[in-house]
Structure 1
Amino acid sequence: MKFPYSLKIRGSPSPGSRKKRRNKGATTLVSVFLFIIFFTLGLSMLYFTGIYLRISAYKKNSTLLDYASENGIKHGFHHLLSLLTQSSFPVLLSQEDLEKLWIDALNQGSGTVEKLIGQTPPLQSAEDWENLEWKSTTDFSLERMEENEDYFKAVYRTRILSEGKIDHFKHTGTSSFEASLGIFTGHLPLPSIPFLVDKKLEPEQKENFAEKNHITLTPSQKNLLPSQLVYSEENLLPKDALP
């Protein structure tokens, strides 16, 4: 006898098939979990890489700022040396000028420096190169003064302050440098002007004077100014001067 339809009873899944399903689920879960871990590690590495790049850029900029500020010191120092070497020496003074400078030095002034270099302190200088720029300020303050009967010696503390900058970078670098500048003023004794040529010479005669007279000047380790012959434009020594 045939029934119009027959019931098919599904058998219960075997233990092996259950294990397979569980294994597939576990693999998916582990894969997602590992993906999250690696994704998090990737973001962390990108974050720390960004921090490292920022630190590296800051160190690089700090080094460049140091270079820029040091260049400012060198530029300011060479500017001062050029003023000292290019100024006419010795500077001839009237008795009235001597008295004014003497009083100025007693009052801690820097008029003697201004008279020597031909500019009013503080001195300013600036320079740039590519994306770097630097500027310096040179100022003078009286350290001590030694008075004699006919002349005085003023020693000035020379301080150079420099600031370095980088384009599109808000921070700045600073450096400082100190030196001493000694100036004799008055009726000077001959030993204070050891290389004085007391005669008026033409420019071409001055160029060959040292070579023709076999004169060799040795630079001093203590004095930063280069040794040079001093030519007077008029006779400074009295005719009855003793050797």
Structure 2
Amino acid sequence: MGPKLAGNMHIRPQWKNISNRERIFPPTKPNILLSLSDKNQNFPPLFFKLTKSTRPVLPPQKHQLNSCSVIVNFFSSPGSRRHVFSSGSATLLCVFIIFLFTIFSLGALVNTEIFLHANRYRREKWLLQLASENGVKWGVSSLRKYFEEKPEIIFLREDISSSTSFSFLELPPENLEEIIGSIHIPPAPRSETSYSWTTLLAPSHLESFFTTGTYWLANYGLKIRGLGKSSFSSGVSLSELTLGLKVGAGHLPLAWFPFLLEGSPSPEKKQLIDQKIHITSGETTLLSPRKVILESPSFISPEPKNWLAQNLKVSSLEPQDLTHHRFREILGLNPSNEPIPEGVYLLRDDLGLGGLFIQGNADEILLGINESYQIIQIKKNQDIWILRFSPLEQKTEFQSPLQVEKFNLIPRGMIIINGEVKSLSAALTNPEGELFSTTEKIPCLLPGINLTFLCSQEITITSHLFQQGLQFEEEIPYLKGQEAQLIIWSSGKDILTGQEQGGEIKIQVPSQEEVVIQAHLTSSSFANPNQSPGAKKLRLLGSLQTKEIELPNSTLTINHRPPLIEKNDLFQPFPTTEQPILAIIRITPQNWSENGHN
């Protein structure tokens, strides 16, 4: 029985929702809520509190009274109140979690739909772009095939049109189609997918040109457009490639052609040329360098008089004026019709110093470098002439067996030999400032200089010839600084009389497995006799034009270096074609754009 109270009342504790621990150990200060009521009398229930300072140990059984009941609830702390409301809180928490998961699920569905749409759009855009790129690629391959089927060189006549309807023009036209006709590209093949492309070729336009008295060079711009289409949508993609076409007409410099053979070689000779001669280019070009074989005579045999009259800046000097009498005046000798005495002369003209003139055979010509000075030493019999000049300091010194002359200007680079050169070689400098030949692989040319050796007879190269700063990385040549240009031209004709002589360039470098020559070579004959056990590989950085070629036990690799043309017209160092021609020199990619953006 529970504790008794006055009026036949008992305390009935409520143990529902109370743990066993709380039954035995109720809170320290429980609040006991008593509810008094009488079943037989209708009076309001009386509520009052009883506070106990001790922990009563109440029995776990349930007690009831007929007359009244006492309900005891324990409200002690917030922790105890959580037990009362835990069921409602869990419901709210579950509802909130379900709401969050619903929001997240809907968001994931929306994001998935957006991602699928965006991915579909990107995929379609990418495929359209690929289709337009295929259109450009088709145009490039068709254009390459179109020009490869055309002749490399088209001969012109200065007075009448040739059979190919091309005529020599003094100035380049505004459009390339005016001189080569319309360019046709076949339609693109039908695509088996849902994406197709169309290739369009815009008309060419003249961008710039350079002209001299004998030829012009023009740069034309040509655009290839590729249009990509889709059968699923109306979307269109546009890709454009701008090409630069360099075209030349007139008496062009021969150095524009990497390898040019004049004549009609036998089938065996053609096979040897294909096997032993390899051509690469230092430029990115649409047309690969080609080996040009021409049956036309007198193409690479220009008159040396014409070239000399053009580059010697003497007033009223014409090629027919270059006689012994007139040339003696230019050299500072007494005017007469007598032959010019053998020796080495400094060429002077109205603009300053032209270079050197050598009458007779030269036993040895050495090229060397001493700091900023380019040195050219000529040995003839027992006499030595030395020409030193510095482009950096703009100073020149000419030393002959009789005197030393100094100038505050530099020569233009003409070395004229009316005879034979028995040895052209690189050299080192001794303490006295003179040169001595060597077969070591050393540079012998200053960067940026132009030297033209015009020889009437045979000239023999006996060492490596290349400029300062040349390096090879994985068989690819790289130049540091401005490119030097060495032109070696064996004309096979007397400089003054025009009499036919044997013009040949020979390579004779002993004890070398590989020979490197940085030069543009033009001659009636080119040979590498290979009399030594070495020199099995000849690497030429420049170009070669000849009528005969002999490579018995060696190969020739030509890395084509296009000529650098001076636009001031003071000095044109390259020999030109004997006949006026028209040629597509090179085609290079310049700019790529997609949908109007580079």
TM-score relative to the length of structure 1: 0.67
Q: CA deviation at 1:122?
A: 6.8
Q: CA deviation at 1:207?
A: 5.3
Kept in 1: contact 2:131–2:228 (CA 8 A):
yes
Kept in 2: contact 1:125–1:137 (CA 8 A):
no
SS at match of 1:126: coil
Matched residue, 1:142: 206
Kept in 1: contact 2:156–2:168 (CA 8 A):
no
SS at match of 2:279: coil
Q: CA deviation at 1:51?
A: 4.3
Kept in 1: contact 2:132–2:197 (CA 8 A):
yes
* Larger displacement relative to structure 2 (45-54 or 171-180): 45-54
Query: CA separation in 2, counterparts of 1:90 and 1:205?
Result: 24
Query: CA separation in 2, counterparts of 1:238 and 1:45?
Result: 77
Query: CA separation in 1, counterparts of 2:270 and 2:121?
Result: 52
Relative contact order higher in (CA < 8 Å, ≥ 6 apart) = 1
Give ranges in structure 2 of 5+ residues lacking alignment: 1-97, 305-490, 492-598
* 1:54-113 Cα distance to aligned partner (Å, 9 max, x none): 32211110011111111222221122122222211111223334885626724x122366
* 1:122-181 Cα distance to aligned partner (Å, 9 max, x none): 756524352222222233211112122222111101222211122232101111111211
Alignment match of 2:180 (pick from 92, 101, 114): 114
User: Which residue identity lines up with residue 105 of structure 1 in the other structure?
Assistant: P
Matched residue, 2:224: 160
Kept in 2: contact 1:122–1:137 (CA 8 A):
no
Kept in 2: contact 1:136–1:161 (CA 8 A):
yes
Identity %: 22
Matched residue, 1:66: 129
Q: CA deviation at 1:49?
A: 4.6
Matched residue, 1:4: none
User: Aligned pair count?
Assistant: 208
Kept in 1: contact 2:142–2:186 (CA 8 A):
no
Kept in 2: contact 1:104–1:111 (CA 8 A):
no
Query: CA separation in 1, counterparts of 2:184 and 2:264?
Result: 34
Alignment match of 1:102 (pick from 165, 169, 173): 169
User: Which residue identity lines up with residue 92 of structure 1 in the other structure?
Assistant: F
* 1:180-216 Cα distance to aligned partner (Å, 9 max, x none): 11011122232233411111346x557514245x322
Kept in 2: contact 1:163–1:174 (CA 8 A):
yes
* 1:17-69 Cα distance to aligned partner (Å, 9 max, x none): xxxxxxxxxxxxxxxxxx9x999998887666544433221111001111111
Query: CA separation in 2, counterparts of 1:43 and 1:53?
Result: 15
TM-score relative to the length of structure 2: 0.30
C-alpha RMSD of the superposition = 3.6
Query: CA separation in 1, counterparts of 2:123 and 2:258?
Result: 49
Give ranges in structure 1 of 5+ residues lacking alignment: 1-34
SS at match of 1:184: strand
Per the alignment, do residues 239 and 63 of structure 1 end up closer, same or farther by CA in structure 2, a change over 3 Å counting? closer
Per the alignment, do residues 237 and 62 of structure 1 end up closer, same or farther by CA in structure 2, a change over 3 Å counting? same
In terms of fraction of residues, the more strand-rich structure is: 2
Q: CA deviation at 1:239?
A: 6.0
User: Which residue identity lines up with residue 89 of structure 1 in the other structure?
Assistant: E
Matched residue, 1:195: 259
